[in-house]
Amino acid sequence: MRAGSAPGNGRRVIVTALVLGVVILVGGFLLGHLAGSRSRAGLGDRPEGGPKISRDRVAPLARLALPPLPPQPQPITGPDRPPLPVERGGPFGSRLTTGTPEVALTFDDGPDEVWTPQVLALLRDYGVQATFCMIGSKAAKYPQLVRDVVADGHTLCNHSWSHDVWLGLRDEETVLADLRRTNEALTRAAPSARISYYRQPGGNWSPVVVAAARRLGMTALHWRIDPHDWQLGPSHRIAADVTSQATPGAIVLLHDGGGDRGRTLSALRTILANLITRFHLAPLPPGMEEPRPSGTGWFGRPGQ
């Protein structure tokens, strides 16, 4: 009797194994489909009015970003009314920090037809906005890049017309003419943008250039962290300098123009992946015009 039952037992074992295999395959498919659906629902395409997040590479990291801070009101800006006050410790009162817990990434010497689009794409993937300090002659040459920067919600900053590192040593009228010319190039490219910051090339500040910037309604913008990405150091050193020195409110100096920025771009991937888990990253506030009372014209007179 026992010997005769062996073939039957063997068949039952085979059938049982086949059933278990089917169950495992179907269960794995359903779990994978459910996980994929949740991932797509959580990451999605571009939320209305927000930056697009790449699903294939960066979006899982972006999900680790800190929840946003409550929105802050935009400062009122205009002539002799820059968005941020002078900062003690900064060269001639220029800003080293944002004045908030937010860290500000800033990019100098663009726009550049090769590197600026790549920096924008990487920032867009991570859902991060920054501040771009642009050279006036380059803005005049590449107005579409200026518009692309503004369209992604970044803040514009004046970086002089031709990257004159000695501009601060010139007389006030020369400085004012240079800054005005640069502002005009930026606003000609992007009429809706407000230019509320000025960064002196080379960080060569002087009382004259700080005063001229203030007169035009711009905060003098220095930095807390400079990884010297314009030099020939490796990308891992650039990234390490930024991530190890970052503290709440730090302004970080990087470059999207002025030379080969491949090392900066490579470092930026590491910088963004690291900082979004530790700090809130935000552009400097561009400011806004003072609201006019309803029914009045530009000079307070009754409207037509």
Per annotation, catalytic residue among 108, 109, 112, 125: 108
92, burial (CB in 10 Å: exposed 0-12, middle 13-18, buried 19+): middle
* Percent of the chain whose predicted confidence (pLDDT) is above 90: 70
pLDDT at position 70 is 82
Asked whether the predicted pLDDT for residue 37 surpasses 60, the reply is no
- The answer to whether 65 and 176 have CB atoms below 8 angstroms apart is no
Is 291 or 187 the better-scoring residue by pLDDT?
Answer: 187
Q: Which two tokens stand for residue 159?
A: 């970086």
Strand partners of residue 296: 302
Is 91 or 295 the better-scoring residue by pLDDT?
Answer: 91
Residue ranges per structural domain of the chain: 8-43, 59-275
Q: Which two tokens stand for residue 296?
A: 């009045």
Residues whose CB falls within 8 Å of the CB of residue 8, separated by 6 or more in sequence, listed in order:
none
Asked whether the predicted pLDDT for residue 36 surpasses 50, the reply is no
Place of tokens 């935000």: 282
Count of all residues that appear for the chain in the document: 304
Alpha-carbon distances of 72 from 180, 193, 200, rounded to whole Å: 29, 19, 27
Per annotation, catalytic residue among 154, 159, 222, 255: 255
pLDDT at position 21 is 53
Is 25 or 100 the better-scoring residue by pLDDT?
Answer: 100
pTM: 0.77
Active-site annotation holds for 255? yes
pLDDT at position 7 is 52
Alpha-carbon distances of 151 from 139, 174, 286, rounded to whole Å: 15, 32, 14
C-alpha span between 273 and 162 (Å, rounded): 33
Which 8-state DSSP code applies to residue 166? T
Asked whether the predicted pLDDT for residue 86 surpasses 90, the reply is yes
For 209-235, write each residue's pLDDT tens digit.
999 999 999 999 999 999 999 998 899
Q: Which CATH superfamily is domain 59-275 in?
A: Glycoside hydrolase/deacetylase (3.20.20.370)
pLDDT at position 11 is 59
